[in-house]
Amino acid sequence: MNVDYATRVTETVDILIHADSLPVYAHPGDAGADLCSTQDLVLEPGERALVGTGVSFALPDGYVAFVVPRSGLATKHGITVVNAPGTVDAGYRGEVKVTLLNTDRSEAYRVAAGDRIAQVIFMQVSRANFIEVDILPGSDRGESGFGSTGFGADVKGQHE
């Protein structure tokens, strides 16, 4: 099928923001907008730090912002976000901060103010209306989990 990507509509949502510098979508269609550090710091091997971004949001009700690592920093330098995905609640009005961790065993990592340290993804979420029952409905998987289907190419329990 021939899809004309130019005619596809990208859905956007208005996000109220207070920011030193706006998060940046590096390419059209990117899911994540990069967040920048407000501070200079050095992360020694194994060290973590709470890093400011200078950004605060008033998210629409029913939305969440997830703070997630940048793959380049992770792959090249072992820099990740400890609690990924960091959850920014719709009601939170404080500065969005990033708990960076240097997982590298030998190399320190230097962050300069203005560096893009993580990215933020906006998503709609459902809140649960918990309905207590005595017995849960059955399912194929049941209580199997934690590797129950194996790890090779063959999937245990697979059916037509």
- Binding site residues for substrate, as ranges? 70-72, 83, 87-89
- 87 contributes a contact to ligand DUT by CB under 6 A: yes
- 67 contributes a contact to ligand DUT by CB under 6 A: yes
**Ranges assigned E (strand) in the chain:** 16-19, 33-36, 41-43, 48-52, 55-58, 63-68, 79-81, 86-88, 97-102, 109-111, 116-124
Give the nearest distance from C-beta 38 to ligand DUT in angstroms.
13
- Which residue number, 89 or 107, has a Cβ lying nearer to ligand DUT? 89
Query: Binding ligand DUT by CB under 6 A: which of 32, 55, 97, 117?
Result: 97
| C-beta neighbour count of 149 within 10 angstroms | 14
Amino acid at 77: H
Which residues on adjacent β-strands are paired with residue 111? 41
- Which residue number, 79 or 96, has a Cβ lying nearer to ligand DUT? 96
| Residues near ligand DUT, by CB under 6 A | 67, 83, 86-89, 92, 96-99
